[in-house]
Amino acid sequence: MNDVIHGDEHWMREALKLAELAAAEHEVPVGAVVVRDNKILGSGFNTPISGCDPTAHAEITALRQAAKNEHNYRLPDATLYVTIEPCTMCLGAIMHARVARVVYGATEPKAGVIYSNPVWQQGGFFNHQVEWCGGVLANEATALIQQFFKQRREAKKQLKRLANGDEKNVSELHKE
């Protein structure tokens, strides 16, 4: 069991590195890796804003890359590591790809559908079952998301102050 936990933390750290790349691109910091037999088959981070693509979630990008690398849209015996609980769209792709296991970091109370809003578990919804494990490096994943949105809120306040002509804040911005 400790080997699995150690392995889960290792691969989640890889996903967290990708999430940091997303944050650097001003995207919501989510990263994902698809792993089988201790080998990354595919990886990705959120790019819906920069890519003008609402489907460009980290999970989708990682699954697409893994499927291409495996020359198969099915990814049996693979584990998807993602820094935040998957949404409905991503869970659909996970199920269609026949991923065996999903490991996520932070829960997503609004859009997460594995633990937070588990409608998929209501009998007969999918013809594939996936094993899941949540909370792996949850503190790190949560901190990354919270910091990102805190910075976005602060930037929005600054823009609002500028739009209102708050000269004190304008001069402070020029100092930076």
174 annotated ligand-binding residue = no
The pLDDT value given to residue 169: 54
Q: How far apart are CA 30 and CA 95, in angstroms?
A: 20
Q: How far apart are CA 135 and CA 86, in angstroms?
A: 13
Q: In sequence order, which ranges of 25-137 are alpha helices (DSSP H)?
A: 58-70, 88-96
C-alpha triplet 7, 37, 133: angle, nearest 5°: 45
Q: Which CATH architecture has domain 8-164?
A: 3-Layer(aba) Sandwich (3.40)
Tokens of 170: 């304008």
133 annotated ligand-binding residue = no
Low-confidence spans in the chain with pLDDT less than 70 = 1-6, 123, 166-176
The pLDDT value given to residue 4: 58
The pLDDT value given to residue 73: 98
Q: How far is CA 32 from CA 123, 154, 159, in A?
A: 28, 27, 32
Q: Residue 90: name the closest of 113, 119, 67 by CA.
A: 113
Residue 176 is among the residues annotated as catalytic for this protein = no
Q: How far is CA 15 from CA 103, 159, 163, 173, in A?
A: 11, 32, 38, 34
Confirm if 75 and 67 have CB atoms less than 8 A apart: yes
**Beta bridge partner(s), residue 106:** 84
Catalytic entry in 9, 25, 27, 59 = 59
Determine the 3-state secondary structure of 105 from DSSP: strand
Name residue, tokens 């999903």.
102
Q: Residue 108: name the closest of 15, 28, 48, 18 by CA.
A: 28
Q: How far apart are CA 30 and CA 119, in angstroms?
A: 22
Q: How far apart are CA 12 and CA 18, in angstroms?
A: 10
